[in-house]
Amino acid sequence: MQAVVRHWIDDGVDALTMAVLARKRDDAQSIATFLSDVGIPARFAQASSEGVKVSVVTMTMHQSKGHEFSRVLLYDMSNGRFPAPMNGASEAVRAERRRHETALLYVSATRARDELIVTYEGEVTGLLGG
């Protein structure tokens, strides 16, 4: 993730046109902290700071709806993590959740105007056709 964002910046892409999207709020907040700690200006998007655009923005996939970015990195689209396992749920509940998560993935991926990077560990989520 860090290498991708740094590469974009080195290629002259303005940091304020980049976003890192994560499924969970805690992940998005941690990513902003991590990027800042390694010298990449980043901030977690909060309702109170939505209008402030001075750095790479990190946010949840849900928060990304209605936004557009030049470059988007979808964080941890690993099989078994996205969507989260639903052990013990009925088949109907799992099917509904899968539809919801597929729509969320679509909305998140289409926030990228010029380039989309998907990160994962092991196998990519089956929702990407894998």
Predicted structure pTM score? 0.91
Domain 2-121 classified CATH 3.30.920.30?
no
Q: What percent of the chain has pLDDT over 70?
A: 92
Q: Kindly list the domain boundaries of the chain, sorted by start residue.
A: 2-121
DSSP 65-105: TT--EEEEEE---BTTTSSPP-TT--HHHHHHHHHHHHHHH
Q: What is the pLDDT of residues 101-128, one digit of tens each?
A: 999 999 999 999 999 999 999 999 999 8
Higher pLDDT, 114 or 85: 114
Looking at residue 88, its pLDDT comes to: 87
Place 47 in a pLDDT band, splitting at 50, 70 and 90: low
Looking at residue 46, its pLDDT comes to: 77
